[in-house]
């Protein structure tokens, strides 16, 4: 688990799992806010690049949250 | 300067609010009901002679020296055991009393050596003082009779005589000087709570005995020093006093070990520390100490301290000693070069949770203002960052809610993932005192720690499988909700009701019941239900927790689950209750407060907030970056990727303390410049290019903030051996990088912190001098600080319940790695051991051992003391096994105090979902017998030895 897209996908999904039980709207909001608040720009850039490349491995809410965050950026 | 002489009132203070007036020696005295006559007299300025009484323990009434006469009462009662009553008329001096006291002293002295001139207690002996006080001029009995003083009597061996016990490395026990006042025995029981000492024998045969006539070192004694402090003679004396002599001045300062933050008097001769004695007015420790703070300060003058700056181009080169200027110039040029080549964000730093608030503040200021990015983090990342996240989400602020005094009003104590007896010993003693008064204790921990079962301690134990905290806490909530134990009045008044209802529905799901989750958690549902009922209905319930909560992939979720429990039962917002994170290092709280996290400025305010950031920009006169920076684990990943190439580490050994050592080695090796600022050539320094010598807590002024949010002064008692205090080093490094910071004294740094941080607005050195210490928030609304938080309402407004779904960690056992490793601390060692390994504390713990259950050991043919190979998916190491049923079958445990064990080679880089706090507490492992160190350990040792070579400085021409 050291190559970075894999690790970031794993981290994003971990965040997603916490918010999952709060329902789609709150989960998507919670996930995107968390990543915006705590991830350094280079990490966000990498995960956005991964998203653009299809976002393989990202859980559904996480995918939505990242898309939302990318639009805001 | 002079020696601080604390007044000994003879008996403890009464907490009663009813006042009683009496007359002592013609003076009217008013004291609280329950006060002894001895204490009342002392409070009015009259010292009644005494030997067996001291205000750290309850009255005993054995020495018969404190006799007084009371009008209308027969006889001469002991003033220590006689409480005041209204209208009493007491005389402390009369012909009858004088004769009686002189007689008592004459008997004492007839069995005591008269070597006062050469005695270590000369100048600090209560027996000597009392002989003087009663006017003893003659001892009529001689020394020919039976005595405990001489090895030989009438040419034969004296069976009553006992040799000195010098087994403890820090103090000696000389039985020939003992007057059997039993102050040491009572201190061990009442203050420390260990019950290691007793009085053996009766009458003239009475002797102080550690355990069953064992040596101090061989007994249960934990070397807290309370007995030495209590001893009125030279019977129990610090070896440092025996060697050096009596101190001549003292300075009150704050211990630099754990998050309890004990206040000590550093007793000095010139610039030499004679001894550290706990300060009675210290509000965290109330006059108590542990073996680390009391005795283990020898590292401060250890020969391995590096006192000259050193540099090298490559980590394969030997170190070269240089001037400070050259070191700063070298470091600045490297960092600037890296930023030119890789960009502004390619460097960063780590603040220290061992350094002062002021030093931490300056390091983050250097990074944000000087480096121009927010790549600053602190070791709290790897311990209590989930506390910050979890408590700020639910309560609105990340700090613990109580002061330590609060435990005196607690009825039910819940300890989760913490072992205060080892890691926060002085708090543990205060807690045990409360347990002996009848409070109940619940311990949630995979191991049967000292808190589960020890002298006069018997907890309800929930021995869960590592990694299942959330499932257990949610099951507790399930019981509280489904059995109707919720404090609905509290929840309706203080919390968001809709969020509560969502949460209650979630926890009430049958899938969260203790019965349904028992298979995963391993906790007996009956015991779990009982624990929930006791916590919810047993009176004031307080939760204390440690790294066994936070250092998991669901660390933040667990903290939230704890907060949910406290809110649901109304156990928040008054004395005796609360949610209390036990912080690991002395200034973890402070380093977090001071803006050490990459996303927030001092006072926990997000860097993206324009208004706050602009205040800092105006004060610092520099434009700040509004993007969050890298956290420690992200720094390592970025280094391996090639986007993070320079790191300044103050007072932290990331290589030894961070998980997955191989990953850390790879990251550090990839960097072009690592600056280590520390006392010793630590493990991280093996991969460093610049070494800046650090100063100890004895060598600088500043403040530490303990686990109760208590800000306390650290006072300089000696000049820095390395030449500069750490805050000065950071200023000089910043200057070399072109970022000027001007402060003449740390108090000016605190003034800047107070000006920029609302919760610190009322804090200044003058205020700290005046109050002794203060708990933040300290501002206009709370000018004397805030001992208990969330009184009348939560900081965030309404308390927020959040659903805590259990997600099993991906670190799982399987056929190759069938056991779970969890890690922890031991009393005598501290953190990575850099300090304690350089003291005599190694007699208690010379190496890390692997605790393994007899069943697992037998399956693998492992015997006690055997070398075993411990392997995980991340790496392998070897250490020796200790077979014990403290751990459950399937679970193994070790400490991480020794670099040669390399426990973190084993731990993985799984981490908390919210904060990336590493999952130290769960690693799937396998154990097998071994012949000795692994290849990795040998290679590591070889690299370390190679890397620590130092070329002597070139002689001046």
pLDDT of residue B408 exceeding 80, the answer is yes
Phi, psi of B518 (to 5 degrees): -55, -35
What pLDDT shows up at residue B955?
A: 57
What pLDDT shows up at residue B382?
A: 84
- Find the largest Cα–Cα distance for chain A: 32
Contact B40, B29 (CB under 8 A): yes
Q: Do B915 and A38 touch (CB under 8 A)?
A: yes
Q: How far is B507 from B513, CA to CA, in rounded Å?
A: 8
Q: How far is A36 from A41, CA to CA, in rounded Å?
A: 9
Q: Do A1 and B506 touch (CB under 8 A)?
A: no
Interface mutation target, options A1, A10, A14, A45, chain B, most CBs of B under 10 Å: A14
Q: B723-727, B800-804, B896-900, B928-932: lowest mean pLDDT where?
A: B896-900
Q: Which of A1, A20, A43 sits opposite B634 (nearest CB)?
A: A43
pLDDT of residue A4 exceeding 90, the answer is no
Q: Do B914 and A40 touch (CB under 8 A)?
A: no
Q: Which of A15, A34, A42 sits opposite B638 (nearest CB)?
A: A42
pLDDT of residue B639 exceeding 90, the answer is yes
Q: How far is B149 from B198, CA to CA, in rounded Å?
A: 20
- pLDDT tens by residue, B29-76: 999 999 999 999 999 999 999 999 999 999 999 999 999 999 999 999
Q: Do B557 and A4 touch (CB under 8 A)?
A: no
Q: Do A11 and B913 touch (CB under 8 A)?
A: yes
For B510-537, what is the mean pLDDT?
96
What pLDDT shows up at residue B935?
A: 85
Min Cα–Cα distance to chain B from A20, Å: 9
Quote the radius of gyration of chain A (alpha carbons, Å). 11
Min Cα–Cα distance to chain A from B913, Å: 5
Min Cα–Cα distance to chain B from A47, Å: 14
In B103-206, beta strands by DSSP E: 152-153, 156-157, 171-173, 197-200
Spatial CA neighbour of B724 closest among B325, B375, B417: B325
pLDDT of residue A1 exceeding 50, the answer is no
- pLDDT tens by residue, B727-741: 999 999 999 999 999
Which chain A positions have a beta carbon within 8 Å of B803's beta carbon?
Answer: 21-22
What pLDDT shows up at residue B153?
A: 78
Interface residue ranges in chain B relative to chain A, Cβ cutoff 8 Å: 345, 374-375, 506, 553, 556-557, 598-599, 606, 608, 627-631, 634, 637-638, 640-641, 643, 663, 803, 805, 807, 909, 913-916
Interface mutation target, options B343, B552, B634, chain A, most CBs of A under 10 Å: B634
Min Cα–Cα distance to chain A from B604, Å: 12
Residue B660: pLDDT band by 50, 70, 90 thresholds?
confident
Which chain B positions have a beta carbon within 8 Å of A15's beta carbon?
Answer: 913-914
Interface mutation target, options A38, A39, A50, A62, chain B, most CBs of B under 10 Å: A38
Interface mutation target, options A42, A44, A50, chain B, most CBs of B under 10 Å: A42
- pLDDT tens by residue, B879-922: 999 999 999 999 999 988 888 877 788 888 899 999 989 888 99
Tokens at B51, concatenated: 């030997």
Q: Do B643 and A41 touch (CB under 8 A)?
A: no
**Cis, bond preceding B777 (omega within 30 deg of 0):** yes
Locate the chain A residue with the closest alpha carbon to B908. A1
For B143-154, what is the mean pLDDT?
86
Q: Do B914 and A22 touch (CB under 8 A)?
A: no
Q: How far is B239 from B228, CA to CA, in rounded Å?
A: 11
pLDDT of residue B833 exceeding 90, the answer is no
Q: How far is B696 from B835, CA to CA, in rounded Å?
A: 10
Q: Do B553 and A14 touch (CB under 8 A)?
A: yes
Q: Do A40 and B663 touch (CB under 8 A)?
A: no
Q: Which of A7, A21, A38 sits opposite B637 (nearest CB)?
A: A7
Locate the chain B residue with the closest alpha carbon to A9. B913
Locate the chain B residue with the closest alpha carbon to A31. B914
Percent of chain B residues topping a pLDDT of 70: 99
Give the three-class secondary structure for B220.
coil
Q: What is the overall mean pLDDT for chain B?
A: 94
Q: How far is A48 from B926, CA to CA, in rounded Å?
A: 39
- pLDDT tens by residue, B105-132: 999 999 999 999 999 999 999 999 999 9
* DSSP 8-state symbol, B495: B
Residue B658: pLDDT band by 50, 70, 90 thresholds?
confident
pLDDT of residue B345 exceeding 70, the answer is yes
What pLDDT shows up at residue B954?
A: 63
Q: Do B345 and A15 touch (CB under 8 A)?
A: no
Let me know if B769 is exposed, middle or buried by CB neighbors in 10 A (0-12, 13-18, 19+).
exposed
- pLDDT tens by residue, B289-335: 999 999 999 999 999 999 999 999 999 999 999 999 999 999 999 99
What pLDDT shows up at residue B621?
A: 94
Percent of chain B residues topping a pLDDT of 90: 86
- pLDDT tens by residue, B556-611: 999 999 999 999 999 999 999 999 999 888 999 999 999 999 999 999 999 999 99
For B393-418, what is the mean pLDDT?
95
Q: Which of B598, B641, B916 sits opposite A4 (nearest CB)?
A: B641
Which chain A positions have a beta carbon within 8 Å of B374's beta carbon?
Answer: 40
For B659-678, what is the mean pLDDT?
93
Q: How far is B551 from B561, CA to CA, in rounded Å?
A: 15
Q: Do B914 and A38 touch (CB under 8 A)?
A: yes
Let me know if B945 is exposed, middle or buried by CB neighbors in 10 A (0-12, 13-18, 19+).
exposed
State the DSSP string of B526-570: HHHHHHHHHHHHSSSEEEEE-HHHHSSTTHHHHHHHHHHHHHHTT
Helix or strand holding residue B750 (H, E): helix B746-756
User: What are the start-end ranges of the H helices in B584-740?
Assistant: 588-593, 610-620, 632-641, 654-657, 661-670, 726-736
Q: Do B807 and A18 touch (CB under 8 A)?
A: yes
Q: Do A38 and B807 touch (CB under 8 A)?
A: no
What pLDDT shows up at residue B941?
A: 87
Q: Which of A1, A2, A11 sits opposite B640 (nearest CB)?
A: A2
Let me know if B884 is exposed, middle or buried by CB neighbors in 10 A (0-12, 13-18, 19+).
middle
Query: Which has the higher per-residue pLDDT, B192 or A22?
Result: B192
pLDDT of residue B825 exceeding 90, the answer is no
Give the other-Cβ count within 10 Å of B251's Cβ. 18
What pLDDT shows up at residue B657?
A: 85
Q: Do B556 and A18 touch (CB under 8 A)?
A: yes
Which chain B positions have a beta carbon within 8 Å of A1's beta carbon?
Answer: 909
Interface mutation target, options A2, A18, A22, A23, chain B, most CBs of B under 10 Å: A18
Q: Which of A1, A15, A39 sits opposite B909 (nearest CB)?
A: A1
pLDDT of residue B957 exceeding 80, the answer is no
Locate the chain A residue with the closest alpha carbon to B375. A40
Min Cα–Cα distance to chain B from A43, Å: 8
Q: Which of A2, A15, A22 sits opposite B913 (nearest CB)?
A: A15
Sheet with B263-269: strands ordered across? B249-254, B263-269, B272-278
- pLDDT tens by residue, B708-722: 999 999 999 999 999
Interface residue ranges in chain A relative to chain B, Cβ cutoff 8 Å: 1-2, 4, 7, 11, 14-15, 17-18, 20-22, 34, 37-43
Reported residue count of chain B is 957
Tokens at B41, concatenated: 């007299």
Q: Which of B375, B599, B641 sits opposite A37 (nearest CB)?
A: B599
pLDDT of residue A2 exceeding 80, the answer is no
Q: Do A2 and B663 touch (CB under 8 A)?
A: yes
Interface ipTM: 0.92
Q: Which of A4, A11, A37 sits opposite B628 (nearest CB)?
A: A37
> Tokens 């018969």 label which residue?
B64
Q: Which of A4, A11, A39 sits opposite B628 (nearest CB)?
A: A39
For B736-759, what is the mean pLDDT?
96
Min Cα–Cα distance to chain B from A2, Å: 7
Q: Which of B553, B598, B606 sits opposite A40 (nearest CB)?
A: B598
Q: Which of A18, A22, A37 sits opposite B913 (nearest CB)?
A: A18
pLDDT of residue B367 exceeding 90, the answer is yes
Q: Do B557 and A18 touch (CB under 8 A)?
A: yes
pLDDT of residue B857 exceeding 90, the answer is yes
């Amino acid at each position: 688990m050291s190559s970075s897209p894999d690790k970031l996908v794993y981290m994003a999904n971990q965040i997603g799992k916490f918010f999952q039980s709060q329902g789609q709207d709150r989960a998507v909001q919670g996930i995107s806010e968390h990543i915006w608040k705590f991830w350094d720009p280079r990490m966000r850039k990498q995960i956005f690049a991964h998203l653009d490349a299809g976002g393989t491995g990202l859980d559904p809410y996480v995918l939505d949250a990242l898309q939302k965050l990318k639009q805001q950026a | 300067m002079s020696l601080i002489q604390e007044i000994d009132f003879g008996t403890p203070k009464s907490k009663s609010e009813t006042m009683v007036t009496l007359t002592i020696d013609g003076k009217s005295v008013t004291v609280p009901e329950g006060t002894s006559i001895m204490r009342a007299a002392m409070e009015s300025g009259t010292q009644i002679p005494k030997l067996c009484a001291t205000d750290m323990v309850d009255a005993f009434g054995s020495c018969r020296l404190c006799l007084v006469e009371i009008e209308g009462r027969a006889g001469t009662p002991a003033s220590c055991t006689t409480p005041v009553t209204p209208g009493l008329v007491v005389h402390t001096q009369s012909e009858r009393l004088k004769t009686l006291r002189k007689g008592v002293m004459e008997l004492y002295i007839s069995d005591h050596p008269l070597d006062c001139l050469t005695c270590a207690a000369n100048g600090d002996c209560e027996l000597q003082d009392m002989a003087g006080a009663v006017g003893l001029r003659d001892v009529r009995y001689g020394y020919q009779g039976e005595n405990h003083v001489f090895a030989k009597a009438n040419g034969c061996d004296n069976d009553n005589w006992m040799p000195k016990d010098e087994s403890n490395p820090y103090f000696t026990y000389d039985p020939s000087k003992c007057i059997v006042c039993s102050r040491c025995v009572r201190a061990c029981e009442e203050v420390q709570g260990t019950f290691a000492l007793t009085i053996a024998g009766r009458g003239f045969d009475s002797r102080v005995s550690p355990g069953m006539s064992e040596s101090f070192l061989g007994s249960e004694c934990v070397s807290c020093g309370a007995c030495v402090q209590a001893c009125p003679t030279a019977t129990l004396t610090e070896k440092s006093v025996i060697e050096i002599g009596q101190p001549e001045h003292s300075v009150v300062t704050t211990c630099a070990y754990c998050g309890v933050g004990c206040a000590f008097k550093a007793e000095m001769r010139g610039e030499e520390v004679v001894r550290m004695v706990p300060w009675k007015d210290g509000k965290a420790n109330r006059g108590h100490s542990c073996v680390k703070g009391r005795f283990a300060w020898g590292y401060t003058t250890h020969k391995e301290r590096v006192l000259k700056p050193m540099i090298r181009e490559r980590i394969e080169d030997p170190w070269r000693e240089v001037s400070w200027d050259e070191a700063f110039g070298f470091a600045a040029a490297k960092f600037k070069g890296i930023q030119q080549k890789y960009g502004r964000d390619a460097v960063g730093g780590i603040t220290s949770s061992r350094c002062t608030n002021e030093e931490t503040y300056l390091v983050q200021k250097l990074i944000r203002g000087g480096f121009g990015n927010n790549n600053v983090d602190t070791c709290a990342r790897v311990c209590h960052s989930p506390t910050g996240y979890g408590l700020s989400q639910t309560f609105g602020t990340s700090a613990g809610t109580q002061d330590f005094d609060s435990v005196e009003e607690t009825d039910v104590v819940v300890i989760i993932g913490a072992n205060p007896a080892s890691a926060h010993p002085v708090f543990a003693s205060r807690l045990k005192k409360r347990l002996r008064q009848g409070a109940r204790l619940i311990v949630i921990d995979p191991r049967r720690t000292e808190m589960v079962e020890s002298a006069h301690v018997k907890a309800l134990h929930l021995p869960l499988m590592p990694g299942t905290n959330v499932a257990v806490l949610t099951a507790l909530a399930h019981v509280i909700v489904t059995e109707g134990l919720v404090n609905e009045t509290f929840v309706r008044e203080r919390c968001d009701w809709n969020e509560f209802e969502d949460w209650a529905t979630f926890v009430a799901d049958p899938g969260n019941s203790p019965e349904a989750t028992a298979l995963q958690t391993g906790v007996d549902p009956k015991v779990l239900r009982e624990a929930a009922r006791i916590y919810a209905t047993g009176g004031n319930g307080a939760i204390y927790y440690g790294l066994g909560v936070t250092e998991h992939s669901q660390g933040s979720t667990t903290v939230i689950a704890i907060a949910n429990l406290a809110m649901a039962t109304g156990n928040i917002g008054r004395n005796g209750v609360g949610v209390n994170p036990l912080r690991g290092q002395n200034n973890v709280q402070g380093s977090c407060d001071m803006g050490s996290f990459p996303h927030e400025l001092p006072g926990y305010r997000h860097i993206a907030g324009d208004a706050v950031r602009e205040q800092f920009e105006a004060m610092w006169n520099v434009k700040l970056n509004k993007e969050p920076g890298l956290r420690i684990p992200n720094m390592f990943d970025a280094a391996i990727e090639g986007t993070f190439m320079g790191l300044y580490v103050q007072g932290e050994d990331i290589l030894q303390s961070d998980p997955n050592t191989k990953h850390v080695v790879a990251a550090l090796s990839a960097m072009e410049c690592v600056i280590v600022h520390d006392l010793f050539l630590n493990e991280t320094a093996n991969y460093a290019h610049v070494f800046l010598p650090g100063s100890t807590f004895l060598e600088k002024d500043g403040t530490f903030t303990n686990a109760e949010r208590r800000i306390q002064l650290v006072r300089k008692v000696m000049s820095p051996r390395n030449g500069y205090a750490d805050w000065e080093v950071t200023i000089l490094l910043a200057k070399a990088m072109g970022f000027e910071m001007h402060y003449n004294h740390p108090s000016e740094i605190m003034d800047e912190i107070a000006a920029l941080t609302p919760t610190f607005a009322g804090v200044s050195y003058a205020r700290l001098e005046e109050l002794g210490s203060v708990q933040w928030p300290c501002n206009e609304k709370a000018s004397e600080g805030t001992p208990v938080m969330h009184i009348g309402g939560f900081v965030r407004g309404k308390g927020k319940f959040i659903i805590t779904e259990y997600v099993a960690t991906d670190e799982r056992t399987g056929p190759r790695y069938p056991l779970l490793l969890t890690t922890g601390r031991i009393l005598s060692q501290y953190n990575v051991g850099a300090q304690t390994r350089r003291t005599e504390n190694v007699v208690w713990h010379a190496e890390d051992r692997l605790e393994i259950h007899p069943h697992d050991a037998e399956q693998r043919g492992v015997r006690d003391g055997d070398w075993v190979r411990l392997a995980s998916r991340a790496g392998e190491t070897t250490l020796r096994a200790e077979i014990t049923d403290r751990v459950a079958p399937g679970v193994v445990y070790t400490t991480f105090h020794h670099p040669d064990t390399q426990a973190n080679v084993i731990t993985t880089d799984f981490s908390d979902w919210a904060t990336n706090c590493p999952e130290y507490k769960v690693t799937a492992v396998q154990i097998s017998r071994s012949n000795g160190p692994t290849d990795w350990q040998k290679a590591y040792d070889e690299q370390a030895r190679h890397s620590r070579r130092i070329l002597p400085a070139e002689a001046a021409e």
